[in-house]
Amino acid sequence: MNRNKIIIKNAHTNNLKNIDIEIPKHKLVVFTGVSGSGKSSLLFDTIYTEAQRQLVETFSTFARTRMPKLSRPDVDDILNLSTAIVIDQKRMGNNLRSTVGTATEVNTYLRLLYSRIGKPFIGPSFYFSFNHPEGMCPHCNGLGKQIKIDLDLFLDKSKSIREGAITHPHYKVGGFLWKELMSLNVVDVDKPLYVFTEEELQLFLYSEPFAVKGAKEKLSYNRNFEGIARKLEKAVITRADDEADDEEKNAYTKYFKYEPCTSCGGTRLNERARSVLIKGISIDELCKMELIDVLPFISEINDDVSEPILRKARLLLQQLIEIGVGYLSLDRAVGTLSGGESQRVKMAKQMDCNLVDMLYVLDEPSIGLHPRDTENLMNILFGLKEKGNSVFVVEHDPDIIRAAEWIVDMGPRAGKFGGNVMYNGEPQGLAKTESLTGEYLFKTEKPYYKRKIANSFYEIHNATANNLKNVSVKIPKGVLTCVTGVAGSGKSSLIHQCFAKQHPEAIVIDQSPIGKSSRANAATFIGVFDVIRKEFATATQSDASLFSFNSKGACTKCNGQGVLSFELHFLDSVKTVCDECEGKRYHADVLELKFNDKNIADILDMTVNQAYDFFKSVKIKNLLQLLQNVGLGYLKLGQSLSSLSGGESQRLKIATELKKEGNIYIMDEPTTGLHLSDIDNFYKIVKSLVANHNTVVIIEHNLDIIKYADWIIDMGPEGGKNGGKLIFQGLTEDIVNCEQSITGKYLKNVI
C-alpha cells in the first residue's frame, strides 16, 4: 500500500457522486471548482472531519464530552490520514482579554524579555501580564476599558419590573431571572421605575451581595442578591463570550458602554509593569506599535542570555509581516480582526510549530490579500510543506492555483450538477480538460472594456478616520468605482467610515456572516417562502401558518427539524431522519394540501430554476430571478443555509440586497469565494446596475473585477501608519502609469 497518498473510497457527502480518489501527501494541493461544486464537501466535510473524528476517538470519554461532536462523514473508507489542523476564516472570538499579542504568543516572549533585561527589575514574567493579578491594572482588571451598563437602553422606566422594565434579554418577562426577581421582593416589582428613589435604584442596580429570603411555592430558601447592573458588568469582565451565539453576544455588547480606563490609559497594565523599560520603551508602548516597527526594535537587542527568546519573537513577527498583517499592533483585540486577518494570524503561528507529517487544511487563505501579498502567502504555504507536512487548500486565486503541486478540480457545475472529480493531477494537465477552471485559468485573450464616463461626482473632503491622512477624493455618480490598495491601506475607512456615513441611504453589502440556523434556507432568506405560503393558503383556503415548518404545520415529533437527535450522554449525539414525517418537516395533514398537484414539501425540494418554471406569480418569479441572476438557480429552495459554501452564501446575500431600492451600492470584496467563471456572472449584475444609473462602489483586491472599473481610487502606499494616503484617482487605464501605485503594477498584466 502506498502510504504517501490519502486514499478515499466512495465519498458521497452532500453532493459528492460516490468519489474514489487518491491525493498525494507532503505536497501543496489546491482544490478548485465553481462554488457549490463539492470542494468543501470533499476537503472539509469528508477528509478533515474524518481526521478529526478519528483523533477525538483516541481521547478519554471525559475529554470527548468537552470537545466538538463530529459525525462520521458519508464515505466508505479513508486510508493514510494524518492528524489535521484547520486554518479557517472563523473569527478568533470576542474574548475581551484576547489580543493579537496573546493569540500569537508574541506577548509571552516579550514578557519574558522584560522580566530578564528590563530596568528596573520587578519580578518574573507574569508581572507583565494583564491577565494576572500581579500585572493587571487594578481599576479595570486588565481589560483596558471601563464597562458600564447603558441604563437608557437597559431600563424602560415607564414600566414596572412585572411589566418588563428591564429590557435586557436575560430578564425578559416570564424568564428564569425575571421570576427570581419577582420572588425575592428586594424592591416593589409593581411600581414603575420612574417613581423609584435614588436609594431604591442603587439597591436594585448596584448593591453589594447580601442575603435575602425568597419564597418558592410553599418552601423558602436563602440566597444572595446582587445588584443586577453590577452583576452583568462583572459577567462581561470575567466570561469568555467567544463561544456564545449571536443573540448571547448581543446581550453583552448592545447594553454596555466601553470607555478607556482612566487609570491605565487603556494599556491594561498596572503602573509597576509600565515603569520597566528596555532602550527607553515600556512593554505597553511596544504593544501599541505596529508589527513592522516592533520587529526592528527586537532585532536591535543584543543579549546572549535572551537570544532564544528573541529568536522566537523575531520569527513570529517576521511571519506576520510577510503574510500581510504587519500593520496590526500587538494590543489589537482579536474580536476586531476580519475573517481573513484572523486566518493569516493563525497561519503565521503555525510556522513556529515543530510537529511534522500534519495535514494543514486552509479555506481560501488569499481572501483580503492584495496581489502583492499573494507571493508571500505562497512562501508561507510552501514553508509549512517543507517541514514535512501536507497542505490542502480550497482556493480560487489563479496565481495560487498555478503555483500548486497538485490540483483536484471539482464540477462540472454546482449543486446536483457537481460533485464529480473533473481533474486530479499536476497543474499543467488542467489545460487539457473540459473543466471551467482550466478554461478560465489559461485564457489568453484580453477583451475590450467600454468605460462609462461620469458627468458628476460625490466628494469627500479631508477624511481622517483611522489611518486616513486628510484624504479628499471624488467618487463619480452612475459608474463602477473600485477602491484598491494593500490590506490596511485605508480603503474600508474611506468608504465605510466616511462615504457610507455621508450617504446613509446607500445599500451596503459587507463581509458580515450569513445566518447559519438549521431552520433557515434559501427561500426564507430571500423572502420568497412567505409569498409561496400565501399562494398555498389561497389555493387551499387554509391558514398560511400551516405551511411553515416553524409554526402550525410542523411535524409534532421532530418539531419541523426533519431529523431526530439522540443524546448518548458521554458519546456523540446521533441524528436520524424523522420516521414520522420522513424528513419532510410537516405533519401528514399539511402534506395532503396541494397546489397544482404539489405539496409544500415538494416545493421545498425544487431547485430555484424548477420553481421559476412552476409558479406563475410575478412576485415569486421576480424573487427567484434574483437568485438566478447571481448563479444560484441550482439551489433547492429548502436547502439549509448551513450547507452552503462560502461563495454561495456571499451570492445569496448579494441577491437579497439587490432587491432593495436605491441608487448607491457599496460592496466589500464581493468576489470572496467566487470561482473565475462566477466573476464574469457577477460583473454582469454590476453592469446592469450601472446601466440603470446606479452608483456602484466596490472595495476589491481581485484584478478580474478591478479591470472592469470605470474609475479607480487607490490607497496606500502601504498599510497601517504607512498607509491612509490617496495614491491615485482616475480612469482605469491611467493607473498603470502611476509609479507609486502597487495596484497599477499588477493591473498592467490583465488590461
Question: Under a CB-based contact definition with an 8 Å cutoff, are residues 520 and 673 in contact?
Answer: no
Question: Under a CB-based contact definition with an 8 Å cutoff, are residues 91 and 110 in contact?
Answer: no
Mean pLDDT of the chain: 87
Averaged over 496-519, what is the pLDDT? 82
In the prediction, which pLDDT does 568 show? 46
Rounded-to-integer distance, Cα 598 and Cα 535, Å: 12
Q: What percent of the chain has pLDDT over 70?
A: 91
Confidence class of residue 637 from pLDDT cuts 50, 70 and 90?
Answer: very high
Lowest-confidence region among 97-106, 237-246, 447-456, 495-504: 237-246
In the prediction, which pLDDT does 246 show? 45
φ/ψ of 146, rounded to 5, equals -100, 125
In the prediction, which pLDDT does 535 show? 92
Higher pLDDT, 80 or 416: 80
In the prediction, which pLDDT does 241 show? 41
Q: What percent of the chain has pLDDT over 90?
A: 52
Lowest-confidence region among 79-93, 242-256, 734-748: 242-256
Residue 503 three-state SS: coil
In the prediction, which pLDDT does 111 show? 96
Q: What is the pLDDT of residues 25-76, one digit of tens each?
A: 999 999 999 878 999 999 999 999 999 999 888 888 887 777 766 778 999 9
In the prediction, which pLDDT does 376 show? 83
pTM of the model: 0.79
Lowest-confidence region among 143-147, 212-216, 298-302, 368-372: 212-216
Rounded-to-integer distance, Cα 456 and Cα 694, Å: 13
Q: Which three cell numbers stand for residue 315?
A: 520569527
Helices 228-238 and 198-206 pack at an angle, to 10 degrees, of 30
| DSSP state at residue 530 | H
Q: What is the pLDDT of residues 447-502, one digit of tens each?
A: 667 889 998 999 999 999 989 999 999 999 999 999 999 988 999 999 999 999 99
Does the CA dihedral 420-425-429-430 come out positive or negative? Answer: positive
Beta bridge partners of 107: none
Beta bridge partners of 215: 220
Does the CA dihedral 552-554-555-561 come out positive or negative? Answer: negative
Rounded-to-integer distance, Cα 339 and Cα 751, Å: 30
Question: How deeply is 472 buried, as exposed, middle or buried, from its count of CB atoms within 10 A (0-12, 13-18, 19+)?
Answer: exposed
Confidence class of residue 664 from pLDDT cuts 50, 70 and 90?
Answer: very high
In the prediction, which pLDDT does 500 show? 94
Q: What is the pLDDT of residues 261-306, one digit of tens each?
A: 999 999 999 999 999 999 999 999 999 999 999 999 999 999 988 9
Averaged over 109-137, what is the pLDDT? 95
Rounded-to-integer distance, Cα 594 and Cα 107, Å: 64
Place of cell 451600492: 665
Q: Is the pLDDT of residue 436 over 70?
A: yes
Averaged over 11-21, what is the pLDDT? 94
Confidence class of residue 345 from pLDDT cuts 50, 70 and 90?
Answer: confident
Confidence class of residue 511 from pLDDT cuts 50, 70 and 90?
Answer: low
In the prediction, which pLDDT does 354 show? 79
Q: Is the pLDDT of residue 138 over 70?
A: yes
In the prediction, which pLDDT does 569 show? 43
In the prediction, which pLDDT does 572 show? 46
In the prediction, which pLDDT does 121 show? 95
Q: Which three cell numbers stand for residue 499?
A: 462615504
Intra-chain end-to-end CA distance of the chain, in Å: 49
